[in-house]
Amino acid sequence: MAQFKENTLCPVTATLQLIGGRWKTIIMYTLSTGTKRFGEIAVRIPISRKVLTEQLKELEMDGLIMREQFKEIPPRVEYSLTELGKSLSSVIHELEIWGLENVLAKRQMIEV
């Protein structure tokens, strides 16, 4: 479970303590389109494999993603959003829209 830095009654603070940080939301955004293998996630997010592994473990411990390991050679592991993780999909989608309209669009206007 997430290490809560403070005991808060604020729902926004509590949520950000769970999915906050630099990479967790991006990992969940990547998984929002469906199940992915570790390598598929790694090529989409520019972080070290060690950090990615740590973030995936934390998301799994918090019940936001599921890790499924197959007994094959070579070993295969897949990650997907749990129902709890999927319940954040609309929030992440709104972040995507907001970023497109308010950050990336403004960057393009400045570059032109």
Query: What residue has token string 């906050």?
Result: 20
Report all structural domains of the chain as residue ranges with CATH numbers, in order of start: 21-111 (1.10.10.10)
pLDDT tens per residue, range 35-86? 999 999 999 999 999 999 999 999 999 999 999 999 999 889 999 999 999 9
Q: Please, which residues have CB within 8 angstroms of residue 100's CB and are 6 or more apart in sequence? A: none
Terminal-residue alpha carbon distance, the chain: 46
* pLDDT at residue 111 greater than cutoff 90: no
CA dihedral 12, 14, 19, 25 (to 10 degrees): 0
